[in-house]
Structure 1
């Protein structure tokens, strides 16, 4: 009598058995693998359909647009922190009204538009979350991270199209904002996630797959961003300044292309060849979140049409408010004597990353540390490997000298932050102490940025501009103008 056939392992799982080669039926010993063989058996059309089919967790049970339900779900948002942010929505029409009714009140306009950006970015992030629920886990995280970074991309695009003033170099503001965005996400947001995760438990754990890949890519991104700066500062005394800057910008453009290729490989790694690992990790995190299980039963979800509407409204508002905000940066620098470093390194990143920070902190509080870490590292990597190279290439197309040749201070704190965060991620555990240390490091950088002087502003022919050369006269004139404005 023949013996029954041995059971076949489930797709995407490898059975861990004894050394003799016999398989074990214990499900706890089944480990997820990347599922590449299974993925390769699918046709292109199958992959597209599986990636963009609305998932059960994202179904709303409705069709079309229901205005009252749309507003209620949008205001309810995804977390208590997001609901608090939605209280700032009245500032959006206020900022627009003041912009046209009182165009000379630059400080008021800047403050209102700065605060108005927060609910707009939050709406964009929430719409991204709703869209992410309608696609598979890995694709959802990438979609949510990408849409959350649209605020940053829009701000960069608005800044790169601005013409410099005698005292404000918008390229330098963008460069500071690039590194500031990375630091805000990597230190401030990650630190707050560690603190939030430590409220209810002694330690929070996360997967090695998420932390190791993220740490490695952070080091790679830091190395890539450092190359133009190291080149420029190592040859300061050997090449004429104009030629040195030109070569550094050429290197920046080449590096930008390579960084974007690296980001493309990372996305392919997550979504195609190793998606099984990340799917298993994210499913486990989802099962640990009681809040989301309750939400899944109630099904407070936007329809696909409502998601598109929310995205269109949010992107439009973010673009419009960004234009108002950027238009009045020169007032802070010229009349309030706020340094380019503080504007770019601290002020802009805090508002552009608000939605992603709130999402990640809420996930960490709900013991979804893998989700939180994926959002933090994903947003950081998108800035370093995609958004920063993108603005370099756009500047290239516009004929702007946009490069990755940063200030030594900015680059030094970036590399030190990457090393610090990498050490915290090494043991796959976090606690409130590590979170507090990350936040304190970020505050120290912010304090240094307040006192950091503006770099010398060079004209197109490499000579010092009148605003930089006549610092004393400009300072006196600026002080007089500020006093008159007050």
Structure 2
């Protein structure tokens, strides 16, 4: 039933989005249409990556989901950079970190915990990811902020470029470590369960759906970016709130849906891989890549966040680490993460 609704939304939303963009219909109205269209397209991406996760295993499946889910975020951010909306871009990166760790992780643990009293996942992966989260957010995001206090704009951007290159190199090294040199070394017993589940789509069809949906999302995302200023004025929203909450939720809808479905099916290892893996990809690949891309645009993007953004991300990282480091979760821990996200959402709305 839900899949049929998303199919109809995509079937109607894509042509309406194209027509509205070409004929310049009301931007406030089209903002809602674009968001619903992206979310419906993201549902297809989620179903495709779920099939690939069954075929490839939790680690690679989670990585694929994070990659294609973050492709939406990357596309929206590049168009926003071209439009000179650097505050929206930085805010959307913050929102992705908070959304993946607190909203996606929280909903996954909560929904899965309602069905199962206790869910376990790979504790070794959790500890490995914890160290990377601290490096990516607490070290690589905070250090430039501290040093930038005594630097001019030129040196601040140079520091951002250096930090970005290091982040990308370490991210690629982490993938090589996890998927090549140490693949299967830290195996979790629960990952051997349900090996006989059949994927909804074949590998070829799933990849085709991902490619087509991503292309459609790219077009709609460009149109969505041009509505931000009008919507902000109409509803009294700040660029910070649009980036942290609205863009982040819409841009990461694929991971949201997939992670929750996986947790409900007691595949919490995949759900954790999606939530945390997507966060790491945002912090260690998407954010630094945007800094490097901005070299070729009129508006440069320094890796400097506001203090509320930094504090919120650091809090989310440590709360997630404390909850997930034992490799065990339940619905109450999920509710705790959701509560933290709600408090931060209220704070960003009122700023």
- Fold agreement, TM-score > 0.5: yes
Q: Greater RCO between the two (CA within 8 Å, min separation 6)? A: 2
| 1:154 CA displacement | 1.1
Of 47, 70, 75, 1:149 maps to 70
Residue 252 of structure 1 corresponds to 160
Query: What CA distance in whole angstroms lies between the structure 1 residues aligned with 2:89 and 2:200?
Result: 38
Residue 286 of structure 2 corresponds to 387
Of 202, 206, 226, 1:302 maps to 202
Query: What CA distance in whole angstroms lies between the structure 1 residues aligned with 2:56 and 2:105?
Result: 26
Q: Secondary structure at the match of 1:338?
A: coil
Q: Deviations over 1:352-390 (max 9, x none)?
A: 111111111111111111111111111110000000011
Residue 262 of structure 1 corresponds to 170
Residue 253 of structure 2 corresponds to 354
Residue 134 of structure 2 corresponds to 219
Of 30, 34, 46, 1:125 maps to 46
Alignment of 1:86-125 (within 5 A): 86-89=7-10, 90-101=12-23, 103-125=24-46
Query: What CA distance in whole angstroms lies between the structure 2 residues aligned with 1:187 and 1:85?
Result: 25
Residue 181 of structure 2 corresponds to 273
Q: Secondary structure at the match of 1:189?
A: helix
C-alpha change, 1:257 and 1:427, in structure 2 (3 Å) is same
Larger Rg, first or second structure (1 or 2): 1
C-alpha change, 1:104 and 1:362, in structure 2 (3 Å) is closer
| 1:308 CA displacement | 4.2
Q: Secondary structure at the match of 1:350?
A: helix
C-alpha change, 1:174 and 1:82, in structure 2 (3 Å) is farther
CA RMSD in angstroms comes to 2.1
Tell me which protein shows more helix as a share of its residues.
Answer: 2
CA contact (8 A) 2:55 2:203 kept: no
4+ runs deviating over 6 angstroms:
none
CA contact (8 A) 1:210 1:370 kept: no
Alignment of 1:275-294 (within 5 A): 275-277=183-185, 280-281=187-188, 284-285=190-191, 287=193, 289=194, 293=196
Query: What CA distance in whole angstroms lies between the structure 2 residues aligned with 1:432 and 1:112?
Result: 33
| 1:82 CA displacement | 5.3
Q: Secondary structure at the match of 1:275?
A: coil
Alignment of 1:290-439 (within 5 A): 293=196, 295-296=197-198, 300-302=200-202, 304=204, 306-439=205-338
Q: Deviations over 1:330-350 (max 9, x none)?
A: 112344331011111000010
CA contact (8 A) 1:285 1:367 kept: no
Query: What CA distance in whole angstroms lies between the structure 1 residues aligned with 2:53 and 2:264?
Result: 20
| 1:161 CA displacement | 1.6
C-alpha change, 1:362 and 1:443, in structure 2 (3 Å) is same
Q: Secondary structure at the match of 2:115?
A: coil
Q: Deviations over 1:33-55 (max 9, x none)?
A: xxxxxxxxxxxxxxxxxxxxxxx
Q: Deviations over 1:297-337 (max 9, x none)?
A: xx642351x33432332122111100110011111234433
- What stretches of structure 1 of length at least 5 have no aligned partner? 1-79, 165-169, 236-242, 453-486
Q: Deviations over 1:415-467 (max 9, x none)?
A: 11111111111322211111111111111111111121xxxxxxxxxxxxxxx
Count of residues in Structure 1 that have an aligned counterpart in Structure 2:
349
C-alpha change, 1:84 and 1:439, in structure 2 (3 Å) is farther
C-alpha change, 1:139 and 1:437, in structure 2 (3 Å) is closer
